[in-house]
Amino acid sequence: MKLRGLAAITLLLSTTSLFCDTIRGLVVEEVSLKMDTKFEQTAEIALEEMASLQIEGLSRFLDAIQIELHLSNTLKQYADSFGITIHKKIKPKPVSGEKSFTGEKVFFHHLPFLNRMYFTIPVNRAPSAENGLQTGSFELDRSITPDEFPLLISMVPIMKGIPDLVLEKKFYLTFRPVLEKKGLLELSIHRPPKKEQEAIRLFIDDNMIEVPEAALIMDSGIHQLKVESSSFQEVNASFTIESGQKRRVDIILEELTSELKLDAPENAEVFLDGEKLKLSDEPVRLKEGKHLVRIKIDEYSFSKRFTSQRGKNYHLSIIFDIIINED
């Protein structure tokens, strides 16, 4: 019977320390935890092997990391012979194939007689007051800040006499992020050229707010946005904020304009402010102010003055009627 890992026994049975430890073991898995509620990644490690854990993305909304440990029935029979240990502030950066590091131990626990165990690493929050009340669930008694990553997670022997068959079995570690139900909105409002100073009113979920200069923290879910202005067309839009994610929303404002729709006979000639218009179903854009419309049909000519207001549309209709008077 071959025994391994005995040199580490005394160190691993000691209490958690803030002093740097020398960590020896082969890194065989690298986990990069994404800030996505659907993300999970499983690492396979044997005794005296390690998995590194790094976080990727917007970590300010990362509440905790959950590690699910799965043991086969064979490993379960020797559960009291193993322990799981977690170190933070790892140097040098752990990569697959490396074997020697330094770091601070933040957690160690022997494995109970269970097939599945759950370990919670608090991030950006205090540890839970209910820690340890549920069988098979463990939580670190201190919070890990994002700048203390990467972590190293290793499975270590703490008893003598472990058979070679057991030493070669794999432990399965599944990593999942626990995110606050919040995210960031990065809102950019684009006005037309030379209209940058025109006033607008911005509403999100019916609440009027100032145009933000920085990203807004928002609850996850669907939100409604509205932009009102006397200079631009009203904008109504919806957007979704996902937990732990940044959402960029670009709003392009268009000038508030007026239009003139023509309804005239085919043989009519229509002039707007002296310019002949082409008769079609498409409306003509109007500038705000006073206008003169002249209609010419054969030898007849009619004219009409009107004033257009920004944002209002107009309909020009030419109606001919026959009037019969009784003598």
CATH number of domain containing 212: 2.60.40.1120
pLDDT at 321 (0 to 100): 60
Distance CA 262, CA 284 (A): 8
Distance CA 9, CA 72 (A): 23
For residue 211 the two structure tokens come to 């145009």
Residue indicated by tokens 């752990």:
94
Q: How many H helices and E strands in the chain?
A: 3, 25
Instruction: Return mean pLDDT, the chain.
Output: 85
0.75 cut: is pTM over it? no
Do 145 and 18 belong to one domain? yes
CB atoms within 10 A of CB 216: 14
Is the CB of residue 165 less than 8 Å from the CB of residue 136? no
Does a structural domain hold residue 325? no
CATH number of domain containing 273: 2.60.40.10
Q: How confident is the model at residue 5 (pLDDT cuts 50, 70, 90)?
A: very low
146-176, pLDDT tens digit by residue?
Answer: 999 999 999 998 888 788 777 888 999 999 9
Beta pairing, strands 235-241 & 221-228: antiparallel
73-129, pLDDT tens digit by residue?
Answer: 888 888 888 899 999 999 999 988 889 999 999 999 988 888 999 999 999 888 876
Does a structural domain hold residue 324? no
Do 231 and 291 belong to one domain? no
How many domains does the structure of the chain reveal?
A: 3
Percent of the chain with pLDDT over 70: 89
pLDDT at 78 (0 to 100): 82
CA dist 274 to 292, 306, 313, Å?
8, 14, 20
CB atoms within 10 A of CB 49: 19
248-288, pLDDT tens digit by residue?
Answer: 999 999 888 788 887 877 788 888 888 888 777 678 787 88
Do 303 and 208 belong to one domain? no
Residue ranges of E strands in 137-220: 137-139, 151-157, 171-179, 182-190, 201-204, 207-209, 216-219
DSSP of 94-147, one letter per residue? --TT--EEEEEEEEEEE--S-SEEEEEEEBSSPPPTTTT-STTEEE-SS-B-GG
Distance CA 19, CA 62 (A): 26
Q: Which of 252, 272, 293 is the last residue of a domain?
A: 252
175-198, pLDDT tens digit by residue?
Answer: 999 999 999 999 999 999 988 888
Q: Which amino acid is at 141?
A: D
Is the CB of residue 54 less than 8 Å from the CB of residue 32? yes
> Residue 239, class by beta-carbon neighbours within 10 Å (0-12 exposed, 13-18 middle, 19+ buried)?
middle
Partners of 235 in the β-ladder? 227
Do 12 and 143 belong to one domain? yes
